Structure 1
């Protein structure tokens, strides 16, 4: 087998240039979709169905599912909630299936079809995720959801944090992985201060949801790893850990 390869896709617009065969794709949307997915499944959600468009989400209406939609950082009117982690508490989601569409994260998930596996990463589950990825024989592609196909600082920094945990003998990194790791090493001393400069941080402050930023930057709050199976996200190996 060729050496294990770790690559970083800094924008979903670049995904067509990557070979997904034999690869685990890790979708990253730190502010806030991937964080909320990890938190919601850790809090007992039965499944999360990621869809790209609002109409796709509405097609599940009257089927007993919770419908969640976010656009431009805000909850879309007429839906149960958006992608704030504070909407994914045990009281709200336990035993429920959520259909979710977001500006960036759910679209990135759909674009990863064809990968050996698609999993979800956040700071909330970074150790569990990194440990699992280390044990996989497949190549790893860290897919940053970004913002409307533009590079985002927070997703790139997280990708670099995972690279930093996985790097070792026999591991090949592409240039984007090395750049992301360098960015993380600059940020790691004070993630909150570093990511306060991010465009989406400013966008969220404007929407008065700064508390979501702090929540999404917590390290190792859950050990749940969301994995895509038959179009829905469930817990890897059925492992559900109660979130604090």
Structure 2
């Protein structure tokens, strides 16, 4: 591929917290990749791998209750734990049930679904995790639009695992000269990933959310979410629901 003119390079940015989204989101004609590695976006990718029809992400428990009363399967998580009265939380393993195949599922989580709803005005909104890393990179290269990698973080604060995934995407994108306009946040995220990528589990062992999940005996979830490229699905937000083509 020929090197494109600098004026036509696609911008790649990483928004390290949903609280910063209004600052970064000045161009609606972009693809926003919502990232919540532990565990919402990993669970969403897993759900589609296991035959779920669509997922409706909602921000509040109140909205989730309304769907539950209408008979939907509803996943609800806060602080890493399942909310009482709902069907499951945001563990990827919860979405491997045969009874969910072909179903519409509603999901609310501490961070991920809120980030999805903040981003919904963008031209395209997709879901990224290490599980579908290469599929996400290929999707973005095909779209040829500016890219905004939105880290869900933890309650609007920075976290390490989402930033590492953003860096992995940046590393993959820059193989295409079109994506040569990197913001400082993209460069920093990529450098961080390059330090960590040989052993993500070891690199993340002392991070805050990793410790939080470990206290809840969710090491199995952590190991699952750090697998790379076990899915070719790229869930996309269409209207109010996530689907895959």
TM-score range, shorter-chain basis? over 0.9
For residues 11 and 201 of structure 1, what CA distance do their matches in structure 2 show? 18
For residues 174 and 80 of structure 1, what CA distance do their matches in structure 2 show? 41
- Other-structure match for 2:240: 231
Stretches of structure 2 that go unaligned for 5 or more consecutive residues are: 1-6
- Other-structure match for 1:218: 227
- Other-structure match for 2:31: 24
- Other-structure match for 2:4: none
Stretches of structure 1 that go unaligned for 5 or more consecutive residues are: 239-244
**Count of equivalent residues:** 236
Query: What secondary structure is seen at the aligned counterpart in 1 of 2:140?
Result: helix
For residues 2 and 186 of structure 1, what CA distance do their matches in structure 2 show? 30
Query: What secondary structure is seen at the aligned counterpart in 1 of 2:177?
Result: coil
Q: Is the 8 A contact 2:29 2:146 kept in 1?
A: yes
Q: CA deviation at 1:98?
A: 0.8
Q: TM-score w.r.t. structure 2 length?
A: 0.94
Q: Which of these residues, 120, 133, 150, is aligned with residue 143 of structure 1? A: 150
- Other-structure match for 2:3: none
What's the Cα RMSD here?
1.1
- Other-structure match for 1:241: none
Q: CA deviation at 1:2?
A: 3.1
Q: Which deviates more from structure 2 when the two are superposed, residues 13-22 or residues 220-229?
A: 13-22
For residues 25 and 66 of structure 1, what CA distance do their matches in structure 2 show? 27
- Other-structure match for 1:111: 118
Q: Is the 8 A contact 1:48 1:98 kept in 2?
A: yes
The list of structure 1 runs, each at least 4 consecutive aligned residues, that deviate by more than 6 angstroms after superposition, is: none
Taking the TM superposition and a 5 Å limit, the aligned residue runs for 1:176-191 are: 176-191=185-200
- Other-structure match for 2:166: 159
For residues 167 and 64 of structure 2, what CA distance do their matches in structure 1 show? 32
Q: Which of these residues, 49, 56, 59, is aligned with residue 52 of structure 1? A: 59
Q: CA deviation at 1:90?
A: 4.4
